[in-house]
Structure 1
Amino acid sequence: MADNTTIEWTDSTWNPVTGCTQISPGCDNCYAATFAERWRGTDGHHFENGFDITLRPDRLTLPLTWRTPRRVFLDSMSDLFHTDIPDAYIAQVFAVMALARQHTFQILTKRHGRMKALLSRPAFWHLVADQGRKHFTGCQQDWLAVGAMLDGKPLPNVWLGVSVEDQKRADLRIPALLETPAAVRFLSCEPLLGPVDLKRAVIPMGSERGHGLTASYVHVAGCCQRRLHGIDWVIAGGESGPRARPMHPQWARVLRDQCEWAGVPFFLKQWGAYAPEDHGHDRGSVVLIDAQGRNWSGREGDAPPDAVHMRRVGKKAAGRLLDGQPHDAAPAAAR
């Protein structure tokens, strides 16, 4: 849970909190919950409490011990903006990130409402500075830098992202993300459980330009010169694990094509447990799904033209190629 990780789009993970609760369909087969609950009740184990929310103050200063700059995925085993995590503790996490300026921190949440409300309040950044002075070693200039947040300048080494597994969650979470101060905003469309039209979530119907959000929309440098205003990165991926749901290839293609249209980096993390049969797979159980995610297995004659056969071959065999190509684009790390 620290130095090394197999997550393709980051270098390290940092978990000052562990545990979470389900909030949407993307949580149904959560790998973190499955892993943690195996150890519930095991005396002395890191996950003795299973997947209950557990603060880990002993891990707060871990990034300060890493000298080599790296991308750090924060709370891969939790959600920093969960309602059971106190504001003061979240402020301590942000104070550490303010001090560890050599690293780029990637925060991913499904709690878009609390993220927006907390990070948009000047009082929170006062709390960050206060908690930093109280708990961590730092010169006065460090906390003056945090104070700059009071002028609406986000920490340059902190990226904020929301999970987007389907259109409903896109329409809920993306506007909140766009209204939250951030140096870089990204989407994790994993597990991708249905079609997602990013234009619908970002750009108003019938408009080629303009974000169509509220007056409190937070502009970032050059955002209105881009077509997906304020979105800097899109990650997509299918689901793995014993109860994995297949990802229709068209869902990934639409995201890729919209990112190419908008000039936004696109990263395909994985196919997951299932891969398209036409990718050369001839083994494994088969399901037939259409572009709306409906299962037509056993009713092939009634299936619509966009239905495709997906074979359960496992994450490793399924790979990461879309139409024969890898997609590994990402924003530049903070300097």
Structure 2
Amino acid sequence: MADGSAIEWTDATWNPVTGCTKITTGCDNCYAERFAERWRGIPGHPFENGFDLVLRPERLDQPLRWKRSRMIFVNSMSDLFHKGVPKSFVDAVFETMEAADWHIFQVLTKRSSRMRDYLKSRYEQRTPPQHIWLGVSVEDAKGAARIEHLRAAPASVRFLSVEPLIGPVGEVDLSDIHWVIAGGESGPGARILNIEWARQIRDECERQNVSFFFKQWGGIRPKSGGRDLDGREWNDFPSMKAASG
């Protein structure tokens, strides 16, 4: 768990699972894989297994020890809904999040159908907690199909991470979506973010009254291109009143 994060839309990260596998073109230049693989084979290092999927039960209670409230990005170095993560372990993560209700947890996945099915089962008889935000990654028009899975999932706050944005998403229905983060790719081989793709997403958010956060243009380093879009920074977060309504 890292108290403090370079990710502009969160305060901290919590990784009860690390490692993942690539399933879309958006994964091609994965920053988490690039970081983890630097340490493969170094005995005693948290990433001595590189980016192989590893469950870390010793980390499950970490958020309960933090008494000051934070926004916490869950599994910045993995995907909680990876098929290799047993349902019992997903249950344990959710039990911690539900208990630590003074934090806001931000759960992001590319495995949107598994997330939808899990949430339908977990919250079949009760209201999803407002402090657990659920999101899906969308890198282009093909990835936008995950939005339907998210919309069908029981959640009080739903969000999209349109990053890395590697192609136009097109006109998209944002009904029941509360927040959209957009940004370009960073690191070696970073693909260029076309300004018109970013503008289209921003304009759809404004038209449909959805909070919009522009994270970065990307480049060789995350800060290379800055954060301004058409002369300003876009730093909106979801309205809890709108989400609960």
Computing the radius of gyration from Cα coordinates, the structure with the larger value is 1
Alignment match, 1:322 = 229
Structure 2: unaligned runs, 5 residues or longer: none
1:74-223 alignment to 2 at 5 Å? 74-121=74-121, 125=122, 149-170=123-144, 172-199=145-172, 202=173
Shift of 1:193: 0.5
Q: Secondary structure at the match of 1:52?
A: coil
- One-letter code aligned to 1:192: L
Question: Counterparts of 1:159 and 1:94 in 2: how far apart (Å)?
Answer: 12
User: TM-score by structure 2 length?
Assistant: 0.95
Letter in 2 for 1:97: M
- Within the alignment, does 1:236 sit opposite 2:143 as a pair? no
In structure 2, the CA distance between the partners of 1:75 and 1:333, relative to structure 1 (3 Å rule), is farther
What's the CA shift for 1:242?
A: 1.0
Structure 1 CA distance for aligned equivalents of residues 78 and 19 of structure 2: 5
1:256 and 2:202 are equivalent in the alignment: yes
CA RMSD of aligned residues (A): 1.5
In structure 1, how many angstroms separate the alpha carbons of the residues matched to 2:238 and 2:143? 23
Closer, same or farther in 2 for the Cα pair 1:328/1:150, shift >3 Å? Answer: same
Q: CA deviation at 1:151?
A: 2.1
2:112/2:136 contact within 8 Å kept: yes
Between 1 and 2, higher relative CO (CA 8 Å, sep ≥ 6) is seen in 2
Note if contact 1:104-1:333 (Cα within 8 Å) is conserved in structure 2: no
Q: Report the alpha carbon displacement of residue 229 of structure 1 after superposing the two structures with TM.
A: 1.1
C-alpha distance in structure 2 between counterparts of 1:319 and 1:182, whole Å: 32
Distance 1:36 1:80, change over 3 A: same
> Mapping of 1:46-85 within 5 angstroms?
46-85=46-85
Structure-1 separation of matches of 2:169 and 2:3: 33
What letter corresponds to residue 265 of structure 1 in structure 2?
S
* Superposition deviation, residue 68 in structure 1: 1.1
For the 8 Å contact 2:178–2:239, the answer to whether it is kept is no
Render the CA deviation track for 1:248-301: whole Å, top value 9, x for unaligned: 00000001111111111100000001xxxxxxxxxxxxxxxxxxxxxxxxxxxx
Contact 1:239–1:246 under 8 Å retained in 2: yes
1:268 to 202, 209, 214: 214
Q: How far, CA to CA, are the matches of 2:148 and 2:43 in structure 1?
A: 43
CA-to-aligned-CA distance 1:72-96 (integer Å, 9 cap, x gap): 0000000000000000000000000
Moved >3 Å (runs of 4+): 332-335
- In structure 1, distance between residues paired with 2:239 and 2:10: 12
Instruction: Measure how far apart 1:152 and its partner are.
Output: 4.2
Per-residue deviation, 1:328:
0.3
Q: Percent identity?
A: 55
Aligned residue type for 2:41: G
Which amino acid in 2 is paired with 1:323?
Answer: D
For these two proteins, the number of residue pairs brought into alignment is: 242
Q: Which SS does the other structure have where 1:167 is aligned?
A: coil
In 2, Cα distance between equivalents of 1:25 and 1:150: 33
Deviation per residue, 1:159-190 (Å, 9 max, x gap): 110000000110x2000000000010000000
Q: Is the 8 A contact 2:116 2:149 kept in 1?
A: yes
Residues 272 and 184 (structure 1), Cα distance of their counterparts in 2 relative to 1, 3 Å cut: same
Structure 1 length-normalised TM: 0.70
